[in-house]
Structure 1
Amino acid sequence: MSRRPPIFQVPRFAPLRRKSALPIWFSLLLRVLFALGLIAIALAVHWFDRGGLQDNIDGHVSFTDVLYFTMITVTTVGFGDIVPVTDRARMFDTFVVTPIRLFVWLIFLGTAYDFIFKRTWEKWRMSRIQRNLHGHIVVTGFGTSGSEAVRELIARGTLPHEIVVIDGRNAAITEAEDMGISVLEGDSTRNATLEAVHVERARAMIVSAGRDDTSILIVLTARRLAPDLPISVVIRSEDNEALARQAGATTVINPVSFSGLLLAGSTHGPHIAEYLADLAATDGRVALRERPATTDDIGKALSEIATGLGVRVYRDGIPHGFWEGEAGRIEPGDIIVEIVPGRGRSRR
């Protein structure tokens, strides 16, 4: 079977990252101490080599003059009242004090950026993204199932910025962010987290938390905030499928059971599992499509529709197969499930 090309490529160099355990104030203190250390080096050398300095005011260079000269030289280019007059003092100012000046300015500018401008910019940017969230797809859990679902959504034409991923793991959030997806690092079982992504304005939600109890709790939380939201959830234990539906899940998917179906089907014919994979994948020769009945469909039998091969019709939420009498006449409000040509090529 042909493999679908990846949506994104992992960079050749991916450094390990770990969130710093140090508080923000300690990081700020380290920067200040480093800047003071650089200034202290310049001050010490200027003091020991004060004979190379000339005070144009009173002709005497005191410690106060050295401190003043060091601070003025490090922060600016000096005022000319105290100047280096020996070659050694001038070379020190050229090759040591000037780099120290640049480092000190970079430290303070970087600190201002990190603690003021960057945080303000990110806060404004996130609030703007939140305000514009509407008709998006919320994916809680970016593990194996969640990440594959996101890739499939993008392959089916969903724009990355229309997807919001929630996960508590920094590595998963980084991976999703690299795909151009809006991300939120947090706990999806909490009301505040789902409210932050405006789950009530989403068009669909995918829950793949990795644990059935966590997934069911997320469904309960989301259903309370968005009573009409279509919610698809991955449940790994058959005993928990009914609980997920009672919690409010619209669609319950058991990957273990589905894998078993594919394996069992393959024993009855080598092409059954391949055809089922064709139906599910974006790059298959055939694809399943669900749509509401149109005026052209009304009154026709399910087998007579012109847009594809009708296999099931939903009427008042009840499914009817193409062989049943209810599928002999399509009525207004019916939902049709049909098989249509896919965009892929023949699999070998």
Structure 2
Amino acid sequence: MLGDRRSLGVSDRPDFALVGLLRIPEIQTSPWISLSRRVAFAIGLLFSAALVVYFGRDGYHDNSGDELSFLDAFYYATVSLSTTGYGDIAPVTAHARLANIVIITPLRVLFLIVLVGTTLGVLTERSRQAFKIQRWRRSVRNHTVVVGYGTKGRTAIDAMIGDGVQPADIVVVDTDVIALEAAANAGLVTVHGSATQSDVLRLAGAQNAAAVVVATNRDDTAVLVTLTARELNKAAKIAVAIREAENTHLLRQSGADSVVVSSETAGRLLGISTTTPTVVEMMEDLLTPEQGFAVAEREVEASEIGGSPRHLSDIVLGVVRGGQLIRVGEPEVDAIEAGDKLLFIRRAAK
């Protein structure tokens, strides 16, 4: 039995054991709204207890000998739920005492928990997270897993959100607690662990992801993460950022669909900026989806089939056919075919 527990993978652990490793963002509400809800709930409990006592008032004894009014019932509910208990009103019949055991006592406990709101939050946070983790793991599909929340990872996420991807559809995997805290504050789902381990990627739902973005600080780590991600998911699009161009073929062999050489790309832009800085400005414009122009992909419309991409109203840069990019001007794309996709320049929404 002990050996089985030790061999249990991260993704196979029960949901409550994943709290702290997998974090689902919560919707932030005003503390005044939260306080108002708790006060309203406490008042509702008081009225519920008062109604129980009032409807069973024949089973209660008042020291003054008068019949209990609703005010008396509310008074008894107040002193009872607050555990004050002056003893001036007490249940004397078996029916009233049973009601106190079955109804008033549970309400008293719940009332006290509501009053100690901070304690309640601490006690229930783990349970809430475990429930949210369970629900998220059952429903997560076609999301994007981003490995690494450094400069490259954050920029990639900003670009995706700028293109309309919802933050809830992005999962960040990192070993840096501070980076994960920043990602969680941005409304992203986070997983604490090394993405070189298949269990960690499986916990992030990589096996059901539509895309995996690898933005690690080391090329060798990127290769191992890509191999692991491709083993888990044969169909996902895997995009990887590396520092050295000589490692590109390793990433391709490992299963990467796109490889971006960050150092060489930055170097080219720096070189171009010395002679034609406006070209660099335009490139930055195209890579910033929130403003100016952006490069986008769309399906071919029925009316465009058979025509030339150079004669369309959109500025078409290339045609994606069978998963392969063919640049405009090459004879293979003189006529658009059904099933093609067009890479074109669109004006970004302001």
Task: State if a TM-score over 0.5 links the two structures.
Answer: yes
Aligned residue number for residue 334 of structure 2: 328
Paired residues of 1:146 and 1:208 also in contact (CA < 8 A) = yes
Aligned residue number for residue 320 of structure 2: 314
Aligned ranges 1:173-188 → 2 under 5 Å:
173-188=180-195
Distance 2:190 2:279 in 1: 38
Counterpart residue identity of residue 204, structure 1: A
Instruction: Deviation per CA, 1:126-177: give whole Å up to 9, x if none.
Output: 1112212112111111011101111222222221111111111110110000
Counterpart residue identity of residue 343, structure 2: V
Aligned residue number for residue 34 of structure 1: none
2:157 paired with 1:150: yes
Instruction: Deviation per CA, 1:216-269: give whole Å up to 9, x if none.
Output: 111111101100000111111111111011100111111111112212322442
Distance 2:337 2:120 in 1: 65
2:196 paired with 1:200: no
Distance 2:136 2:86 in 1: 49
Distance 1:162 1:182 in 2: 8
Alignment match of 2:132 (pick from 122, 125, 135): 125
2:279 paired with 1:272: yes
* Aligned-pair CA distance for 1:313: 1.4
Counterpart residue identity of residue 297, structure 2: E
* Aligned-pair CA distance for 1:113: 6.4
Distance 2:213 2:296 in 1: 18
* Aligned-pair CA distance for 1:109: 9.5
Task: Extract unaligned runs of 5+ from structure 1.
Answer: 1-18, 20-75, 81-104
Q: Which has the higher contact order (CA 8 A, sep 6+)?
A: 2
**Gap change, CA 1:323 and 1:229, over 3 Å in 2:** same
Distance 1:217 1:297 in 2: 43
SS in 2 for 1:227: coil
SS in 2 for 1:271: helix
* Aligned-pair CA distance for 1:275: 0.8
Paired residues of 1:233 and 1:253 also in contact (CA < 8 A) = yes
Give the total of aligned pairs: 244
**Gap change, CA 1:342 and 1:112, over 3 Å in 2:** closer
TM-score scaled by structure 2?
0.64
Aligned ranges 1:83-94 → 2 under 5 Å:
none
Paired residues of 1:300 and 1:328 also in contact (CA < 8 A) = yes
Percent same amino acid among aligned pairs? Answer: 31
**Gap change, CA 1:217 and 1:122, over 3 Å in 2:** same
Paired residues of 1:279 and 1:287 also in contact (CA < 8 A) = yes
2:249 paired with 1:242: yes
Paired residues of 1:133 and 1:197 also in contact (CA < 8 A) = no
SS in 2 for 1:296: helix
* Aligned-pair CA distance for 1:323: 1.8
Distance 1:110 1:138 in 2: 34
Distance 1:180 1:205 in 2: 18
TM-score scaled by structure 1?
0.64
Distance 1:196 1:331 in 2: 40
**Gap change, CA 1:219 and 1:79, over 3 Å in 2:** same
